Amino acid sequence: MPSAQFNESTVRGGNDAARTRCVKPMKNSGSLNQYDHNDLTPVIGREFFLQATDLLKGDEQLIKDLAVTSELS
Least confident of 3-12, 22-31, 38-47: 3-12
More confident position, 32 or 21: 32
Mean per-residue pLDDT, 6-12: 52
Buried b (16+ CB within 10 A) or exposed e, 27-58: ebeebbeeeeeeeeeeeeeeeeeeeeeebeeb
Distance in angstroms (rounded) separating the CA atoms of residues 9 and 50: 44
| Residue ranges covered by each domain of the chain | 24-73
**Residue 72, pLDDT score:** 47
Q: Say what the pTM is.
A: 0.55
**Residue 27, pLDDT score:** 85
**Residue 67, pLDDT score:** 83
Cβ 51 vs Cβ 36: under 8 Å: no
